[in-house]
Amino acid sequence: MRVNDAITGLILLVVAIAIFAYSTTFPQLTGMQFSAGFWPQTLCVLLALCGGFLIFSGIKERSGGQAWVRLDEWWRQSGTLFTVALVPLAIFFYILFSDFLGFIISSLIILLTMSLRFGLKPVSAIILAVVTTGVMQFVFVDLLLVQLPWGILESVVYGS
């Protein structure tokens, strides 16, 4: 998705103003010359200047006939749009449910859903999900000693 520079500039300007305003609430300790917000505020001023420049250049481009927003072909194909959205959705799913479901079940659901959606045959998708989850569990939990969440399987593994 390509947007006209003026839109990017406007977003940057709004973000810079918001961060600047929020960082004015940071305290200034007695005896200190600068508050904790001084550095982010300086960066925000520079970001706002860049935003202003992009708004200016975007409007100039726009007068040359450029559209505000240009979408790739796949944005108009609902199937592909869902396929692409599956990448961030899978991460979001893990953030929401991994504590409850645990790593193993979350991983199986993510791998199965994605590989089936991408066009893998069901048997291959199941093999991929099981093998990948097993390898990840072995590498991170057994070799690297990372505490991946067990979730609802905790009572099965350790007893209730």
Partner 1 sequence: MENFVIALGLVFDPYVLMVVGAAAVFGLFVGAIPGLTATMATALLIPVTFFMDPVPAIGAVISCSAMAIFAGDIPATLLRIPGTPSSAAYTDEAFAMTRAGKPETALGIAVICSALGGIVGSLVLAVSAPILAEFALNFTSLEYFWLACLGLTCAALITTGSPVKGVVSLLIGLLIATSGEDIMSGYPRFSFGNPELAAGISLIPAMIGMFAVSELIRNASTMKSYTPPVITHLGSIFSGLGPILWRYKFNMMRGWTTGVLIGALPGAGAGMAAWVSMAFAKKFSKEPEKFGTGHPEGLCEATSSNNAGLGGAWVPALVFGIPGDAITAIVIGVLFMKGMTPGPTIFMHAGDLLYALFIIFFLANIAMVGLGWAAIRVSRHIITLPREVLVPVILLFCIIGSFAINTSLLGVTVMLVLGLLGYFMEENDIPIAPAILGIVLGRMIEENFFNSLAKGRGDPMIFFDRPISAVLGVITISIWVGPPLYRLYRSWRGTPRTA
**Site membership for partner 1, residue 154 (CB under 8 A):** no
Write out the E strands in 4-96: 69-70
Residue 68, interface with partner 1 (CB under 8 A)? Answer: no
Out of 18, 21, 139, 156, the residue judged to bind partner 1 by CB under 8 A: 139
Q: Shortest approach of partner 1 to residue 86 CB, angstroms?
A: 7
Choose among 66, 54, 70, 71: nearest CA to 10. Answer: 54
Q: Are 21 and 48 in contact (CB under 8 A)?
A: no
Cα 37 to Cα 31: distance, rounded to the nearest angstrom? 16
Type of residue found at 4: N
Element (H, E) at 17: helix 5-23
Task: Tell the residue number behind the tokens 């199965």, with chain if given.
Answer: 112
Given candidates 10, 17, 36, 59, which one binds partner 1 under the rule CB under 8 A?
36
Note the residues at the interface with partner 1 (CB under 8 A): 1-3, 5, 8, 12, 19, 22-23, 26-29, 32-37, 39-40, 43-44, 46-47, 50-51, 53-54, 57, 72, 74, 79-80, 83-84, 86-88, 90-92, 94-95, 98-99, 103, 107, 110-111, 114-115, 118-120, 128, 132-133, 136, 139-140, 144-148
